[in-house]
């Protein structure tokens, strides 16, 4: 499976248990070959943060970034 890095698409808000370094950080969804986001059955997203690390986060805590 090939993973592409796209433009910044989301801001991760985090919650009270999130590492403060990860709160309000820009990230992008990891996509499969079809261009679809990799999501879990319970609403989780696989995202890549600006520093290149990948993580599974709760989708409700992501906010879409509006591109101008």
Distance of alpha carbon 16 from alpha carbon 22, whole angstroms: 11
pLDDT digits (tens, 9 = 90+) for 6-63: 466 899 999 999 999 999 999 999 999 998 999 999 999 999 998 999 999 999 999 9
Angle at 26 between CA 36 and CA 57, to 5 degrees: 60
pTM greater than the 0.85 cutoff: no
């Amino acid at each position: 499976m090939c993973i592409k890095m796209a433009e910044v698409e989301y801001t991760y808000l985090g919650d009270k248990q999130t590492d403060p370094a990860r709160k309000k950080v820009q990230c992008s969804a990891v996509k499969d070959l079809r261009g679809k986001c990799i999501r879990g059955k319970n609403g989780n997203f696989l995202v890549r943060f600006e520093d290149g690390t990948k993580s599974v986060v709760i989708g409700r805590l992501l906010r879409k970034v509006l591109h101008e």
